[in-house]
Amino acid sequence: MPLYTYTCHDHGEFSDWNSMSQSEQAKPCPSCQEPAPRALARPAIGGRSGDEGAFGGDACGMGACETPMMGGGCCAGGACVH
């Protein structure tokens, strides 16, 4: 069962497990219980955090995006999405 990301209008993103056959169904936000649609996937673009890759350096700076549960790595263009 895959882990999907959902976006609550008031409380932001959260992750929850769901079967692939029900992946497009909204999930209740853990904070307000309102239905939250599945978030769009963000593909990894560029290099690893600290690489001089596609964005010319560590776009997130100072290891700000080294969140272990998110797999670590750098966000595109300096706009952190974690």
79 in the same domain as 50: yes
What residues contact residue 51 under an 8 Å CB cut-off, 6+ apart?
58, 74
One-letter identity of residue 33 = Q
> What does the pLDDT read at residue 42?
74
28 in the same domain as 12: yes
51 in the same domain as 69: yes
pLDDT digits (tens, 9 = 90+) for 27-78: 999 999 999 999 987 777 765 555 444 444 444 544 545 544 444 455 555 5
The number of distinct structural domains making up the chain is: 2
48 in the same domain as 27: no
77 in the same domain as 51: yes
Question: Which domain does 10 fall in, by range?
Answer: 3-36
> What does the pLDDT read at residue 68?
45
32 in the same domain as 48: no
Predicted structure pTM score = 0.51
Extract the runs of DSSP E, i.e. beta strands, from 1-82.
3-8, 12-17, 27-28, 35-36
